[in-house]
Amino acid sequence: MTTQQDRVFSGVQPSGNLTLGNYLGAIRNWVGLQKQYESIFCVVDMHAITVWQDPEELRRATREVAAGMLAAGIDPAESIIFNQSQVSGHAELAWIFNCVARLGWLNRMTQFKEKAGKNRERASAGLYVYPNLMAADILLYKATHVPVGEDQKQHLELTRDIAQKFNNDYGVDFFPEVEPLILGEATRVMSLRDGSKKMSKSDPSDMARINLTDDRETIAKKIRKARTDSDPLPSEPAGLENRPEARNLVTIYAALSDRCVADVLKDYGGQGFATFKSDLAALSVEVLGPITEEMKRLCEEKSYVDSILRDGAEKAATLAEPILENIKQIVGFLKP
Ligand code: AMP
Ligand code: TRP
């Protein structure tokens, strides 16, 4: 048992449209957690600029992601919502963590390898130290629980390593052990065009993903056109092995209907995809429609969204300040 107070922190990058993957893998789970834990949700604009962002577009996307979080049910009266760059402690702690994390650790990060691609020499230095900033986001608040999709697991392991090395190096028991919360049926939603690729904001094909900005008609069309194979649906989950597209659609169905995959297959096993797809399209529209419409409405209310982010940043800064002061003291920085 620890005396550490439980606290949730999570983030999303404003680097494109929010997708069904962000919703099922992350944001939807946050809505439930905010009732159980003190929660902080962050639009991580400083992470976004690790790859080039047009400034006007970054401002727009930052508000849009905040609107998406609100539309999905994050309640600013219950949780803190803000954008990362408004609280300077994130950058300050990230620098300290740049000096704690080892190059060998960063060299193992698969997301860097994927994002940097073949031309690593041309990737920004920020992209390389991205996981250190993520560790700073979490530990600036001594958060204990971090709800994310499957793809962030490795970054959270690094966060634990950084916390532990800091505690060891300075001989303190300061940072808590961070626990990843990878929740729900759909922890890794795949592309609708290629079941071996993650559904991503940055996929060049818009048909590969469902955006939270898509209208009802577009959502239904993308589901109907999603790639499948030609076999009937299996009656049991084991039958989805080596059928990534079928598995993905059934998983999405399960997540959206709050059921498990086995249960969904009981209804559709033995049938072709026609009825299943048309039911999945209707279900997707029913669940996502109200969220996308509320998000669109909020996107028109810039000053309201800005005021939520400003208030959130103030609250976040108040929580961060004493923790950062302790950290600076531990490291040996003189007080002004
Ligand atoms: P990002 O869009 O990379 O900022 O991701 C924000 C959150 O959404 C993180 O918790 C991710 O793990 C989660 N996420 C992003 N894409 C997916 C996906 N395709 N399936 C499940 N979770 C995802
Ligand atoms: N790296 C995360 C992603 O791309 C976003 C993120 C930044 C984050 N800081 C975080 C998630 C802190 C959880 C906690 O998905």
Summarised one tens digit per residue, pLDDT across range 204-216 is 999 999 999 999 9
How far, in Å, from the CA of 177 to the mean position of ligand 2?
17
Q: What is the mean pLDDT of the chain?
A: 96
- Is the separation of the CB atoms in 28 and 72 below 8 Å? yes
* Residue nearest atom 9 in ligand 2 by C-alpha distance: 134
Strands (E), the chain: 7-12, 38-43, 80-83, 145-147, 179-181
Q: Are 191 and 198 in contact (CB under 8 A)?
A: yes
Q: Which ligand is nearest to the CA of 179?
A: 2
Helix (H) or strand (E) holding 255: helix 244-256
Q: Is the CB of 184 under 6 A from ligand 1?
A: no
At 1 the pLDDT is 41
Q: Residue 330, Cα to own-chain centre: how many angstroms?
A: 31
- Any ligand 1 atom below 6 A from CB of 233: no
**Which residues of 127-280 form beta strands (DSSP E)?**
145-147, 179-181
Specify which residues 9 forms β-bridges with: 40
Ligand 2 proximal residues by C-beta, below 6 Å: 9-11, 13, 44, 47, 134, 137-138, 146, 148, 152, 155
- How open is the CA angle 183-315-170, to the nearest 5 degrees? 75
Q: How far apart (Å, rounded) are the C-alpha atoms in residues 307 and 68?
A: 15
- Sheet containing 7-12, strands listed edge to edge, beginning at the edge strand earlier in sequence: 80-83, 38-43, 7-12, 145-147, 179-181
Digit-by-digit pLDDT tens for the chain (336 residues) are 445 789 999 999 999 889 999 999 999 999 999 999 999 999 999 999 999 999 999 999 999 999 999 999 999 999 999 999 999 999 999 999 999 999 999 999 999 999 999 999 999 999 999 999 999 999 999 999 999 999 999 999 999 999 999 999 999 999 999 999 999 999 999 999 999 999 999 899 999 999 999 999 999 999 999 999 999 999 999 999 999 999 999 999 999 999 999 999 999 999 999 999 999 999 999 999 999 999 999 999 999 999 999 999 999 999 999 999 999 999 999 987
Please choose from 51, 145, 151, 182 the residue to mutate so as to test ligand 1's pocket, defined by most ligand atoms within 8 A of CB. 151
CA distance 124 to 128: 7
Which of 90, 137, 146 for a ligand 2 pocket mutation test, highest count of atoms within 8 Å of Cβ?
137
**Residue of 118, 142, 198, 225 marked active site:** 198
pLDDT digits (tens, 9 = 90+) for 116-175: 999 999 999 999 999 999 999 999 999 999 999 999 999 999 999 999 999 999 999 999
Give Cα separations from 211 to 30, 69, 154, 191 (angstroms).
19, 13, 25, 12
What domains can be seen in the chain, in order of their start residue? 4-182+302-331 (3.40.50.620), 206-297 (1.10.240.10)
| Opening angle at CA 29, ends 233 and 267, nearest 5 | 20
User: CA-CA distance, 51 to 44, in Å (whole number)?
Assistant: 13
Angle between helices 125-139 and 89-98 (to 10 degrees): 110
pLDDT of amino acid 5: 85
Give the closest residue to 27 by CA, choosing from 38, 17, 15, 41: 41
Position 200, amino acid: S
Contacts 24+ apart (CB under 8 A), 223-226: 223/192, 223/249, 223/277, 223/280, 223/281, 223/284, 224/277, 224/278, 224/281, 225/192, 226/192, 226/193, 226/277
Task: Examine the residue annotation and report whether 115 is marked as an active-site residue of this protein.
Answer: yes
pLDDT tens-digit profile of 281-304? 999 999 999 999 999 999 999 999
Q: Is 201 a catalytic residue?
A: yes
User: Is this structure's pTM higher than 0.75?
Assistant: yes
Ligand 2 atom 6: the closest Cα is on which residue?
A: 11
